[in-house]
Amino acid sequence: MTELNKVVIVGLGLIGGSLAAALKQSGACQKVIGVARREETCEQAMAMGIVDEAVTGVEQIAGQLGRNDIIFIAVPTLTVAKILNELKACVGPEVIITDGASVKGSVLIDVQSIYGKYPANFVLGHPIAGSEQSGVEASNPDLYHNHRVILTPVPENNADAVKAVRFMWELVGAEVLEMGVQDHDIVLAATSHLPHVIAFSLVDTLAHDSQNENIFRYAAGGFKDFTRIASSDAIMWRDIMLANKKSVLDAIDLFSSNLGRLRAAIEEENATEITGVFTRAKFARDRFTKMLEHSAYLKTMQNSEEKNIVYTVAPGGTVKGRIRVPGDKSISHRSIMLGSLAEGTTNIKGFLEGEDALATLQAFRDMGVVIEGPDNGSVTVHGVGLNGLQKPTGPLYVGNSGTSMRLLSGILAGQSFDSELTGDISLSKRPMNRVAKPLGEMGAIIGTAEEGRPPLKIHGGANLKGIQYDMPMASAQVKSCLLLAGLYAQGETRVTEPAPTRDHTERMLQGFGYGVERQGNAVSVKPGGKLTGTDIDIPADISSATFYMVAAAISPGSDITLTHVGVNPTRIGVINILKLMGANLSLQNEREVGGEPVADIRVQYAPLKGIQVPEDQVPLAIDEFPALLIAAACAEGKTVVTGAEELRVKETDRIQAMADGLANLGIECESTPDGIIVTGGQLTGGKVESFHDHRIAMSFTIAGLRATGAIEVNNCANVSTSFPNFVELAKKVGISLDVKSY
Ligand code: S3P
């Protein structure tokens, strides 16, 4: 479809007039006809040039209308029935009719009662746009540009009619979404109708009932922002409230009860409760603002169609400088989890403000924990104790984060309430039986989707019993999950690992005063202890530092120092492997901070050689392989990785993603079921796909330093899951990087 036939707009107020103006401006509409009660409005619309013809009654132009012509009803909600009666009398069923009323349930009832059988060409719709101005003179051709229009098709609808209405809105720059009639009215009652009720009522209260006549004199920006919508069309909004009575009343009741609780907290000077409400609200509002900047909120909330962020790296260059990368992701997750389960307050410094760790933070807020921040890496968690979590009101959404889902499943298995864990598209494909099965052996009842994929439905109230579990794979997430469940189980929970994996959970439990026993390759916890709030200083993430370590290791002339990096022995596989490859790498200023070893890491360029990566280093460098394979591509000879099948079930299949990308950049490589063989060579320029995996995206970015042409990396939005300022730091150290968003 590239053109529209005739469009008739009934009602030339702001909503109708703006659509008319936009359609005229598009030039893709055969004829725009306006219908307005008053002669003057018709004349004004003609004078403004927003319609080709204007009449005072639809019957005057009904004779010109036929198949594929569209009538848009843009009158207040409670006037729609009157217009429907007029249309029924003079317009045939072949003409498409749509509307813009803010409530869909009432229009649906009107259509059904007036027409009897629902007309297949009647498409219910609602443009989410407006302004506090009204009347034809306020018509604005850009009103719908980048705004959402919700269509609420019904089963009786003709698909072509829905398509035509969608096309009309897209033509004027709107983004069209579809949802059910009832869902629409509930959502709009909460996010639009309730705010209008509150704004009208607040201004009326102050203006009318306040004791102080001069009250508005002292009102500043906050009042103005908050009450802008109280200047909207009063009658139109009255009708909306009446038309959507049930959902609006539900929204008001919920709000009133929460307001009552807040009132009580203020009366009782309960600072923690007030902090809880305000911090949750601030976080939600900040997130909403961010969503609006990036895309339509309905889409981003489900994280399904984020914008495509493309990195383009110019070839060559060196990296130099002294930088501190953000806080460790694994430790950040655990600091929130254990801080929440502790008694008393936990003060965290160096928290990673990336999407993954924020997902964990949000999950605990959703379970009633009051958390202040993050503010420049500082977070304060008001712990609720091991049994103080509250049932969340809906599923806990943890985005891209496997660590959140797996560790949380252990904690949730021990709660008295039911819960559900959901994630984004990538996480929804990752294996969860590795935690669901052993948790099941402990007595937990956990439902998964097919083949053990998320969502996880965890039944509360199970009596967990401690088990002895020999992990079939070397996984810190599985180990941590079971130890956390073990806090709630009867008897000892003991986990053995086939090879050492990161031990942050064990260290941090001890930091919170909870006993953990290690014997050889086994770790165990017993129930009955408690965690006591503490201070946590999170070191910089060695996994993030890796990208700059490899960057310096592959580009001649480079010299970089990464400060305050966590060098826990269970995380330094990357250092060991790079050294084996001949990297000039040294640790300086080694010290211990809050139970974790920390150092500054200096890397100066030196030629690298290919190696057989020792299998015992694989779990200690599991997240670093994408970057290490870039080092392998720049090394002389073959690098062989084996025993790394776990890489196939990370955020993406990292073996395949790296093999595909390296091949695109002219590097010979061969993937095997449990690893990869890379033959060092000359990286060329080219396009690579990150498959939405943050570490794949960052690895190919640093590859640009040794490439002969520009490298374009596709789908890099998820870099923000682990390394929100990667681009800024990359530019700072000398990588020539350009970011575009599509
Ligand atoms: C993590 C453990 C590792 C790692 C992940 C973080 C953790 O996963 O890949 O990024 O924080 O415990 P596995 O336990 O699946 O190996």
What is the CATH number that goes with domain 4-179? 3.40.50.720
What are 675's strand-pairing partners? 672
Pairwise pLDDT comparison (651 vs 742), residue with the higher score: 651
291 pLDDT exceeds 60?
Answer: no
Look at the domain 308-324+539-741 and name its fold. UDP-n-acetylglucosamine1-carboxyvinyl-transferase; Chain (3.65.10)
Residue 377, Ramachandran bin (φ over 0: left; ψ between -120 and 50: alpha; else beta):
left
* pTM score of the predicted model: 0.80
Ligand 1 mean position to 476 CA, how many Å?
Answer: 6
Distance between the two ends of the chain, CA-based, in angstroms?
24
* 264, 267, 268, 272 alpha-carbon torsion, rounded to 10°: 70
308-324+539-741 and 186-269 share a CATH fold = no
Q: Give the Cα separation of 328 and 64 in Å (integer).
A: 68
477 pLDDT exceeds 80?
Answer: yes
Cβ atoms of 357 and 316 within 8 Å: the answer is no
pLDDT for res 289: 66
Pocket around ligand 1: residues whose beta carbon is below 6 Å from it?
A: 330, 403, 475-477, 480, 502, 622-623, 646
The pLDDT tens digits of the residues spanning 165-174 come to: 999 999 999 9
The residue extents of the domains of the chain are 4-179, 186-269, 308-324+539-741, 330-537
Ligand 1 mean position to 452 CA, how many Å?
Answer: 18
Ligand 1 mean position to 289 CA, how many Å?
Answer: 31
Cβ atoms of 485 and 464 within 8 Å: the answer is yes
726 pLDDT exceeds 90?
Answer: yes
Give the rounded distance of the alpha carbon of 329 from its chain centre: 17
The pLDDT tens digits of the residues spanning 585-617 come to: 999 999 999 889 999 999 999 999 999 999 999
Look at the domain 330-537 and name its fold. UDP-n-acetylglucosamine1-carboxyvinyl-transferase; Chain (3.65.10)
Pocket residue to mutate for ligand 1, from 334, 475, 505, 655, most atoms within 8 A of Cβ = 475
State mean pLDDT over 208-225. Answer: 78
The pLDDT tens digits of the residues spanning 383-408 come to: 999 999 999 988 999 999 999 999 99
* 186-269: CATH, from 3.30.1490.20, 1.20.810.10, 1.10.3660.10, 2.40.110.10: 1.10.3660.10
Residue of 239, 503, 623, 693 marked active site = 623
Ligand 1 mean position to 317 CA, how many Å?
Answer: 32
Report the amino acid identity of residue 552.
A
The pLDDT tens digits of the residues spanning 175-199 come to: 999 999 999 999 999 999 999 999 9
Active site residue 185: no
Pocket residue to mutate for ligand 1, from 477, 620, 652, 722, most atoms within 8 A of Cβ = 477
Name the pLDDT band for 303 (thresholds 50, 70, 90).
very low
Contacts of 499 (CB under 8 A, 6+ apart): 474, 616, 618, 619
State mean pLDDT over 331-355. Answer: 97
pLDDT for res 290: 62
